[in-house]
């Protein structure tokens, strides 16, 4: 090959568009160097290609584990050709400069998500070594090397080179910097995926962020996060705010999460839609367990990030009707989630309600056809095993604050009901405890201060997000109306004064479940005894800010 030609090194796992890209490079006068499967594909396409082994004068070894890790490759990638000593060094070593590198990495993320899971050795084999080294070296030396990690950039790079008449030096520095930054984001995201996946495999989600071992403390002392921009949203919470949707690396390629859900119908999802949908889906997953075998159907209705109606029932349409009855006024323009495939009966029951978004693990064909007759209804399908939403998994939650992050674990509340304590003279019945289990699960997803009134396995009144607990009781009671009579009431934290309990009793609450723990607990217990209300302490606070 003609060593006077600019040289391109092509070594990609994702071979989308690589033949066309290489063909265009060859037409522009580039000499092509390649490795393994990429080289074979290019040769099969009739292109003239030099192997990396021809350049290094060393064979690939250990089943291809080592091929590009050689001075004859990394010298040209890192040589600063604007410096005389580097040019002389290249000449002394008889190295040919490399002007362009196309490289993307072994698909570690998809390998980590394989079902069934790969064993440890197979997963470790999907950790690329030579690729990231090449990418980082090329990006560091972007003044001399054009680096490309994304097949979507191939066409624009050919346009840049065509405008420069095939001279790599003619590609502007600003464009080189743009590609170099993309390259560093590519390798950074790759390393985050490896670190987080291996920690999850080897240690799981931590029970506590206190250091329990040298290994775990190293992880806990470093917060690693990576996500890929999926879409630009119309605006943020308000029109003057810009917004975008990013997807976690490990969620790419499947539809089992909110961000990657299959979206149909209506206009595009907004920032607020996604925020509300997250709250809706999270609560529905929390209820989609085997704790209520006789009432397996869950329906959750959310407005402005707070539930306004939640129910479990033996049929889906009953779950919807019970949830809607909790607060039909607030349900206008809401987001609704079901934990089972939506049926035609349910679709017909929802016909008169304006709904922003429906979420479910699927839709019967006749139900989908009926729902889509109305414009602007968006249907989100969350891929789920056996067409039933998977329960809420334990996970880490990150929240950015000024100058840093706060991090916590999140999961459905785990309460040992056998140790929960009735603290009043009037005893809590088993039927009330069954309602309490449901009420507490709902209450955990309502913004604090939170009060939830339930009858059986359906909410009848919800008081969300108040600065005063007694005011949250008043709101829940007002929404429940006559349905508050004989209800079970759940509070996400203790009653600091007796006034909240007195308001609950006045509204008709027959039994209360709360964490307890106030210095005035006895005052509250005394009020319950005086008013004939039973009360259970769980010792488990459920704040959500």
pLDDT at residue 219 in the model: 47
Query: Are 383 and 425 within one domain?
Result: no
CA angle (87 as vertex; 81, 90 as ends), nearest 5? 115
Tell me if 277 is assigned to some domain: yes
* Domain termination residue (choose one: 340, 370, 387): 387
Tell me if 411 is assigned to some domain: no
Residue 406's beta-bridge partner residues? 399
Query: Are 366 and 445 within one domain?
Result: no
Query: Are 353 and 467 within one domain?
Result: no
Spatial contact of 446 and 479, defined as CB atoms under 8 Å apart: no
- The answer, yes or no, to whether the previous bond of 171 is cis (omega within 30 of 0) is no
Sign of the dihedral through C-alpha 30, 16, 12, 48: negative
302-311 burial string, b = 16+ CB within 10 Å, else e? bbbbbbbbbb
Rounded distance, CA 193 to CA 179, Å? Answer: 21
Answer whether residue 459 shows pLDDT above 80: yes
Query: Are 374 and 440 within one domain?
Result: no
Query: Are 443 and 380 within one domain?
Result: no
Least confident of 159-163, 226-230, 385-389: 226-230
Query: Are 98 and 184 within one domain?
Result: yes
Spatial contact of 277 and 382, defined as CB atoms under 8 Å apart: no
Share of the chain above pLDDT 90, in %: 69
Query: Are 165 and 63 within one domain?
Result: yes
Answer whether residue 33 shows pLDDT above 90: yes
What is the mean pLDDT of the segment spanning 18-33?
95
The DSSP bridge pattern shows strands 334-338 and 297-303 to be antiparallel
Residue 74 half-sphere exposure toward CB, CA atoms < 13 A: 14
Task: Tell which phi-psi region holds residue 204, choosing left (phi > 0), alpha (psi between -120 and 50) or beta.
Answer: left
Share of the chain above pLDDT 70, in %: 95
Tell me if 430 is assigned to some domain: yes
* Domain termination residue (choose one: 151, 175, 197): 197
Answer whether residue 449 shows pLDDT above 70: yes
Tell me if 452 is assigned to some domain: yes
Q: Which residues form the catalytic set?
A: 140, 304
Spatial contact of 517 and 476, defined as CB atoms under 8 Å apart: no
Task: Tell which phi-psi region holds residue 500, choosing left (phi > 0), alpha (psi between -120 and 50) or beta.
Answer: alpha
pLDDT at residue 1 in the model: 45
Rounded distance, CA 451 to CA 152, Å? Answer: 51
* Domain termination residue (choose one: 340, 366, 387): 387
What is the mean pLDDT of the segment spanning 86-114?
88
Tell me if 463 is assigned to some domain: yes
Per-residue pLDDT reduced to its tens digit, 125-179: 888 888 899 999 999 999 999 999 999 999 999 999 999 998 999 999 999 999 9
Q: Residue 124: which domain range?
A: 7-197
Provide the CATH number for the domain around residue 457: 3.40.140.20
pLDDT at residue 255 in the model: 80
Which residue did the predictor score with more confidence, 323 or 65? 323
All residues at 6 or more sequence positions from 331 whose CB lies less than 8 Å from its CB, including other chains: 301, 303, 308, 309, 324, 353
Provide the CATH number for the domain around residue 145: 3.40.50.1380
Tell me if 206 is assigned to some domain: no
Closest CA to 473 of 499, 510, 440: 499
Tell me if 394 is assigned to some domain: no
Q: Return mean pLDDT, the chain.
A: 90
Q: How many domains does the chain have?
A: 3
Tell me if 189 is assigned to some domain: yes
Answer whether residue 515 shows pLDDT above 70: yes
Query: Are 74 and 156 within one domain?
Result: yes
């Amino acid at each position: 090959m003609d060593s006077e030609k600019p040289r391109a090194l092509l070594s990609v796992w994702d071979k989308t568009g690589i033949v066309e890209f290489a063909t265009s490079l060859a037409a522009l006068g580039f000499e092509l160097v390649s490795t393994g499967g990429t080289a074979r594909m290019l040769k099969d396409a009739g292109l003239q290609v030099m192997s990396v082994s021809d350049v290094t004068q060393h064979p690939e070894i250990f089943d291809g584990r080592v091929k590009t890790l050689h001075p004859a490759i990394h010298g040209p990638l890192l040589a600063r050709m604007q410096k005389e000593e580097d040019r002389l060094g290249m000449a002394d070593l008889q190295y040919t400069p490399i002007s362009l590198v196309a490289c993307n990495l072994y698909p570690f993320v998809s390998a980590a998500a394989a079902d069934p899971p790969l064993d440890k050795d197979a997963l470790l084999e999907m950790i690329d070594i030579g690729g990231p080294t090449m990418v980082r070296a090329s990006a560091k030396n972007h003044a001399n090397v054009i680096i490309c990690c994304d097949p979507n950039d191939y066409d624009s790079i050919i346009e840049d080179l065509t405008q420069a008449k095939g001279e790599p030096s003619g590609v502007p520095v600003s464009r080189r910097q743009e590609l170099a930054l993309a390259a560093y984001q590519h390798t950074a995201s790759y390393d985050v995926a490896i670190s987080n996946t291996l920690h999850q495999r080897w240690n799981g989600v931590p029970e506590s962020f206190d250091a329990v071992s040298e290994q775990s403390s190293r992880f806990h002392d470093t917060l690693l996060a990576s996500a890929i921009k999926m879409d630009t949203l119309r605006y943020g919470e308000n029109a003057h705010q810009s917004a975008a949707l990013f997807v976690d690396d490990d969620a790419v390629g499947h539809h089992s999460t909110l961000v990657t859900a299959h979206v149909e119908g209506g206009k595009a999802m907004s920032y607020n839609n996604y925020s509300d949908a997250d709250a809706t889906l999270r609560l529905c997953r929390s209820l989609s367990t085997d704790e209520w075998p006789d009432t397996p159907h869950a329906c959750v209705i959310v407005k402005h990030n707070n539930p306004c109606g939640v129910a479990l029932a033996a049929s889906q349409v009953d779950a919807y009707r019970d949830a809607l009855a909790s607060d039909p006024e607030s349900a206008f323009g809401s987001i609704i989630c079901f934990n089972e495939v939506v049926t035609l009966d349910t679709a017909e029951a929802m016909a008169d309600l304006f709904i922003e978004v429906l979420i479910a693990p699927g839709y019967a064909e006749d139900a989908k056809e009926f729902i889509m007759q109305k414009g602007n209804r968006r249907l989100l399908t969350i891929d789920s095993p056996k067409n039933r939403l998977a329960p809420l998994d334990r996970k880490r939650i990150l929240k950015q604050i000024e100058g840093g992050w706060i991090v916590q674990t999140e999961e459905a509340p785990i309460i040992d009901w056998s140790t929960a304590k009735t603290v009043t003279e009037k005893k809590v019945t088993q039927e009330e405890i069954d309602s309490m289990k449901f009420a507490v699960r709902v209450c955990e997803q309502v913004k604090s201060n939170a009060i939830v009134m339930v009858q059986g396995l359906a909410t009848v009144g919800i008081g969300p997000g108040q600065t005063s607990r007694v005011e949250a009781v008043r709101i829940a009671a007002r929404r429940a109306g006559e349905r508050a009579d004989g209800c079970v009431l759940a509070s996400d934290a203790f009653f600091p004064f007796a006034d909240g309990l007195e308001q609950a009793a006045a509204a008709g609450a027959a039994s209360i479940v709360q964490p307890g723990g106030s210095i005035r607990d006895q005052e509250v217990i005394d009020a319950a005894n005086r008013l004939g209300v039973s009360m259970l302490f769980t010792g488990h606070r459920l704040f959500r800010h």
